[in-house]
Amino acid sequence: MNKDLEEFADHAYFTLSGDVNSDMVRRVFDAASDMTQDHISTAHILIQSNGGYVSDGICLYNFLSQLPIRFVMYNAGAVASIAVTLFLAGNERYASDTARFMVHKSHATASPGARPDALKIIVDGLRADDLRTEQILREHVQLSEAHWQVHAYSDLHLTAQEALAVGLIDAVRDFAPPKGKRLINI
């Protein structure tokens, strides 16, 4: 076998899009099962997501981070909210020049007429989610104090160049599977 082809024989290419929710968790679990059975050593995954549920995103981050597979994540459009946490599970991370990232604090909507004890439970849950996601963000990304100040009160948007500067990505690079490689939608 040609040495160049041999190098990519155990690489596979995937797309993952949509809301981060229990359905995505199930799809990723199923795909990871197939990857291990197929002896994939490196999975290249293009992610397109505006976010979703914090617990589902953290589950996927923890799950992918512990698998015996090297994950290479790509952003070709938008990776936002909890999808950024999922993206951070990548051993290598790339974004197209025109891609963007967005992170923000957790939010929820209370039922009309909610009682104070119910509101406290919601607030406590949001604070716990913020602590979990911020811990993961700080482990991987070196945001400036100005970035953290924006993040504290608003959506923090990062271009690919800004994501590179803070270590969210390793390089500005497009998702480009080699010719002839199968592309699998998770």
Q: What is the pLDDT of residues 67-107, one digit of tens each?
A: 999 999 999 999 999 999 999 999 999 999 999 999 998 87
Lowest mean pLDDT among 41-55, 86-100, 114-128: 114-128
Q: What is the pLDDT of residue 4?
A: 47
> Are 101 and 95 a contacting pair, CB within 8 Å?
yes
Q: Which residues of 75-106 are buried (b: 16+ CB within 10 A; e: fewer)?
A: bbbbbbbbbbbbbbbbeebbbbeebbbbbbbb
Query: How many CA atoms within 13 Å lie on the side-chain side of 165?
Result: 9
Closest to 136 in 3D by CA, of 68, 32, 54: 54
Backbone angles phi, psi at 108, to 5 degrees: -155, 165
Which residue carries 């790339």 as its tokens? Answer: 94
Closest to 182 in 3D by CA, of 57, 11, 31: 11
Q: What is the pLDDT of residues 122-150, one digit of tens each?
A: 787 777 878 889 999 999 999 999 998 99
- Cα–Cα distance measured from residue 156 to residue 7, given in angstroms and rounded to the nearest whole number: 38
Is it the case that residue 1 has pLDDT exceeding 50? no
11-17 and 183-185 beta bridge pairing: parallel
Write the DSSP string, 23-66: HHHHHHHHHHHHHHHTT-SEEEEEEEE--B-HHHHHHHHHHHHH
Residue 60 banded pLDDT, cuts 50, 70, 90:
very high
Q: What is the pLDDT of residue 137?
A: 95
- Cα–Cα distance measured from residue 93 to residue 83, given in angstroms and rounded to the nearest whole number: 13
DSSP 167: T
